[in-house]
Amino acid sequence: MSVDQEAAVEVTAPAPVHALEVRGLVKHYPGVKALDGVDLVVRQNEVLGLAGENGAGKSTLLKALVGLVRPDAGEIWVRGEKVRLKSVVDAANHGIGMVFQEQSLVPNLTAAENIVLGSEGRGVRRGIYRWDTMRKLAQEQLDKIGSDINPLARTETLSFADRQMVEIAKVLRIEQRSQHPPVIILDEPTSVLESKEIETLFTQVRRLREFASVVFVSHRLDEVLDVCDRVSVLRGGQSVGEVPTAGAVPATLHQMMIGSAGSDDHYHGNVAEPSDQPREMLSIRKLSAKTFRDVDLEVRAGEIVGIVGVHGSGREDVCRALFGAEPTSGGEVYLDGKKLDLSGTRAACAAGIGYVPAERKIEGMVGPMSVADNMTLAKQESRCVGPLVSPPKQAGVVDRWIERLSIRTPHRGTAIQRLSGGNQQKVVLARWLVADDIRLLLLDHPTRGLDIGARSEVYRLMRELANSGVATVLLADSLEEAIGMSDRIVVMSDGRVTSEVPCVAGAKPTPLDLVKEMV
């Protein structure tokens, strides 16, 4: 063969067929361009990370890939074929499945029903469930991720973390649905998982790489670099580049995300000294409920106390009980020297207690209501003059916090459900910041779903509130966050307080120190 013939062969050699490709995707919403010509390539048998600030366009892009959003322009190609994805079922038939950040399970169905929903196959005969077969089909998927969840348990009885594992098991059923290697999208899959569960998930992701392609989305950049082969970055609805993870560091991705250098450790360098105020703001004595017992805890004014523990330790339920959202069976709670009424959330709000729940879509916001109404929902006086709502007063308060928290919204009147998850979380947090009578703030994973810059802002606000005398109980998103932000850390295990660890500046514990106390 001549040199010219060899060159001709090279020129005509077929290009590799990608598992998924996005070309020039555009999507407009009223007042905002969510996607502005996004390009994305997912190769066969790789894990692609997708990074970007809140509002960068990640959620809109993912929804377009699973048929929930119709792009205004651009193309989507699956295994070399141009497709129009009209629904989630249509995407699944093309081998694309997604684990949503905001869970999509039906709460009154069993875990097994949710896992096989829409792909029951031999689990249904003549319209009637074959429960033993359904259980076995679900168990096959749960076994893949090492979960011991009972397939016949009602989903609403499971913890948030267990429901997340059910979501992952559900999307793996796509292997049986498509005749092609699947594309699995994981949107913030680790946001509520403990360290052991995260490692189990990463093991599963690496297994998926052997026969599938994975798109992995997380604000925890260290996780992205750990489990992904490449990372594609979005900023302002546009693709700004990609980097291989080998040798990359979080600061590299952060610089691409916001256009300047940064770190994933914002809270460590800016932590103030613990407050010197001696006044005890919160005093819990022998508090007991269904999932915890004999809990004693004190929090001083201006102090941030972190509570850590493995799944099932009872720490979340303690916070809910303090806000009147969980019934108690014994014990007493005093706030600023006065016995606290634990009968309901109304009494808690009246006493000056704020609560940011872990499940913002279920408990933290009213989706169809506007950003302004959600932000002022708990404190009506922040928007009223006398008994009537004052639009100018509400607008002034809301606009101030939209600017201060860099909430990306077309307008204060935009429905909160139209915002990205991270911006929704900032509105939920701002609900308590607009009030000037908060004495105790209960934060259950307040930075979940927030990017680096937004987390840094939340940390700063927490310290400002502490310096103003607000007592804070923090259930952190990670042990590192708990260590970085807390003045003291209380460890819970099996519903009891087992130890207390000081977090003195310059002598803070390590995550390993806490793990030893937790297990």
Reduced 3-state DSSP string for 424-479: HHHHHHHHHHCCCCCCEEEEECCCCCCCHHHHHHHHHHHHHHHHCCCEEEEECCCH
State residue 137's pLDDT score: 87
The string of pLDDT tens digits covering residues 241-282 is: 999 999 888 888 888 887 655 444 445 444 444 445 558 999
The more confident residue out of 32 and 254 is 254
Long-range contacts for 503-507 (Cβ within 8 Å, ≥24 apart)? Answer: 503/306, 504/274, 505/271, 505/273, 505/274
Mean pLDDT on 300-309:
93
Which of 61-75, 188-202, 300-314 comes out lowest in average pLDDT? 188-202
Same domain, 86 and 196: yes
CATH of the domain at 477: 3.40.50.300
| Domain match, 408 and 294 both | no
Per-residue pLDDT band for 440 (boundaries 50, 70, 90) equals very high
Please give the Cα distance from 309 to 517 (Å, whole number).
9
The answer to whether residue 362 sits within a structural domain is no
What are the tokens at 131?
């429960």
Amino acid at 319: C
pLDDT confidence of residue 269: 42
Q: Does residue 431 lie in a domain region? A: yes
Q: Is residue 70 located within the same domain as residue 177? A: yes
Please tell me whether residues 382 and 483 are part of one structural domain.
no
Average pLDDT over residues 178-205: 80
Task: Check whether residue 429 and residue 447 sit in a common domain.
Answer: no
More confident residue, 169 or 259: 169
pLDDT (average), residues 496-509: 87
Predicted confidence at residue 141, as pLDDT, reads 86
- Distance (Å, whole) CA 140 – CA 328: 38
Domain region containing 415: 369-436
Percent of the chain at pLDDT > 90 equals 39
Instruction: Average the pLDDT over 482-492 and give the result.
Output: 92
Give the residue-averaged pLDDT of 180-192: 83
Confidence band (pLDDT; 50, 70, 90) for 5? Answer: low
Specify whether 114 is located in the same domain as 209.
Answer: yes
What mean pLDDT is predicted for residues 84-93?
90
Answer with the one of 389, 414, 436 that is the final residue of a domain: 436
Average pLDDT, the chain: 84
Amino acid in the structure at residue 247:
G
Weakest-pLDDT range from 9-18, 185-194, 475-484: 9-18
Mean pLDDT of 65-72: 93
Residue 271: the pLDDT is 42
Mean pLDDT of 221-230: 91
Q: How many domains does the chain have?
A: 3
Same domain, 155 and 202: yes
Percent of the chain with pLDDT over 70: 91
Decide if 36 is inside a domain: yes
Residue 218 confidence (pLDDT): 87
Same domain membership, residue 247 and residue 113: yes
Least confident stretch, 81-90, 342-351, 376-385, 442-451: 376-385
* 3-class secondary structure per residue, 167-184: HHHHHHCHHHHCCCCCEE
Q: How far apart are the first and last CA of the chain?
A: 69
Residues 160 and 249 in one domain: yes
248 in a domain, yes or no? yes
pLDDT of 409 > 50? The answer is yes
Top-confidence range, 94-108, 334-348, 370-384: 334-348
Q: Assign 287 to helix, strand or coil.
A: strand
Whether residues 285 and 247 share a domain: the answer is: no
Residue 2 has pLDDT above 70, yes or no: no
Q: Is 50 helix (H, G, I), strand (E, B) or coil?
A: strand
Q: Is the pTM of this model over 0.75?
A: no
